[in-house]
Amino acid sequence: MSRTKRPWGYWEVLKEEPGRKIKLLTVKPGQSLSKQRHFKRTEQWLCIEGNGILKMHGDTRFALEPGESSFIDVEEWHQLVNESEEDLIILEVQEGEECTEEDIEREDYKRIQKDLTSLNADGDDESMIEED
Q: Cα torsion at 94, 99, 105, 108 (round to 10°)?
A: 60
pLDDT tens profile 61-116: 999 999 999 999 999 999 999 999 999 999 999 999 999 999 999 987 555 445 55
Query: How many C-beta neighbours within 10 Å does residue 23 have?
Result: 18
Higher pLDDT pick, 36 / 109: 36
Q: Which CATH superfamily is domain 2-131 in?
A: Jelly Rolls (2.60.120.10)
3 has pLDDT over 60: yes
Distance of alpha carbon 101 from alpha carbon 38, whole angstroms: 9
Domains of the chain, by residue range, sit at 2-131
In sequence order, the 6+-apart residues with CB closer than 8 A to the CB of 34 are: 79, 106, 107, 108, 109, 111, 112
pLDDT tens profile 17-32: 999 999 999 999 999 9
